[in-house]
Amino acid sequence: MTLTPASLITATDILAAQDADLAGVIARFGYPPLWPREAGFPTLLKLILEQQVSLASAQAAYDRLLAVVGELTPESLLALDDETLRGVGFSRQKARYGRLLAEAVQSGSLDMDSLPGLDDESVRVELQKITGIGPWTAEVYLLMVLLRPDVWPRGDIALATAAQQVKGLTARPSQSELHELAEQWRPWRAVAARILWHHYLSLSR
């Protein structure tokens, strides 16, 4: 199944009934957004830009890239040289990752159109064949693009920070501790992630 605006509300209510701390987030900030993203190469490239930097920084680089290429396709990205990519905000490493992704999509070795028909684990396997796409990127694609209900983006610092605040923990949980904590939210871990992000972003405004 995939999440919809209606099922997101239903699942949020289920989690709030089970977890008083998550219920407190809903009471304070309301229901979390679905935050859907369009399927395809541009979104996956943007997720690479978002790795280990702020969303604002990644968005700025992405906007500068769009200003240069107009329509973002594998071909338009591959037409840019290193100097141009660095000028819009790509690190040397992310420029390489972006090119490897573009080449995989262009050649068909990564078939983006097939991903919605695959189960969660198969999507992870296909995406992580590409150098530069690790577990976090694959999980966020599953969560925000394919709208799968029970995925958890391992390695997300904002989720760890939000979990510490929402759960009243003395320290920010490690990723293994956070993964274990998230087990209680099955089969709606992707909804719990949205609630925690909603908390984090609401406090950051």
User: Domain with 124 in it: what CATH number?
Assistant: 1.10.340.30
Residue 172 and residue 194 in one domain: yes
Task: State pLDDT tens for residues 175-197.
Answer: 999 999 999 999 999 999 999 99
Provide the H-helix boundaries in 30-73. Answer: 41-50, 55-69
| Residues 93 and 16 occupy one common structural domain | no
Does 121 lie in the same domain as 61?
A: yes
User: In this structure, what CATH number is given to the domain that contains residue 198?
Assistant: 1.10.1670.40
Same domain as 99, residue 72: yes
Residue with tokens 């219920």: 23
Residue 205 has pLDDT above 90, yes or no: no
| Domain count for the chain | 2
- Of 116, 145, 174, which residue sits at a domain end? 145
Q: Please state the φ and ψ torsions of residue 43, each to the nearest 5 degrees.
A: -65, -40
Question: Tens of pLDDT along 20-78?
Answer: 999 999 999 999 999 999 999 999 999 999 998 888 899 999 999 999 999 999 999 99
The answer on 104 and 78 residing in a single domain is yes
So what's the pLDDT on residue 53? Answer: 85
Task: Give the C-alpha separation, 63 to 89, whole Å.
Answer: 10
Structure tokens at 184: 């209680």
According to the model, what pLDDT value does residue 204 have?
Answer: 81
**Domain that includes residue 187, residue range:** 5-35+151-204
